[in-house]
């Protein structure tokens, strides 16, 4: 997910790339 990589670079948080939509939403909730 390129958007995820860009978001993590922008925030400076090298979080692992989510493997599913649910994981993606959960990770976004953690950093939002």
Q: What pLDDT does 12 receive?
A: 65
What are the structure tokens assigned to 30, written together? Answer: 């953690």
The dihedrals phi and psi of 28, each to the nearest 5 degrees, come to -60, -40
Count CB atoms within 10 A of the CB of residue 4: 15
Domain that holds residue 18: 2-31
pLDDT digits (tens), the chain, 32 positions:
677 777 777 666 656 666 667 777 887 788 76
Q: What pLDDT does 23 receive?
A: 77
CA-atom Rg of the chain in angstroms = 9
pTM score, two decimals?
A: 0.33
Confirm if 30 and 13 have CB atoms less than 8 A apart. no
3-state helix, strand, coil split of the chain in percent (to 5) is 65, 0, 35
Q: Total structural domains in the chain?
A: 1
Q: What pLDDT does 31 receive?
A: 73
């Amino acid at each position: 997910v390129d958007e995820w990589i860009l978001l993590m670079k922008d925030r400076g948080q090298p979080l692992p790339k989510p493997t599913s939509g649910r994981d993606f939403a959960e990770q976004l909730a953690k950093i939002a």
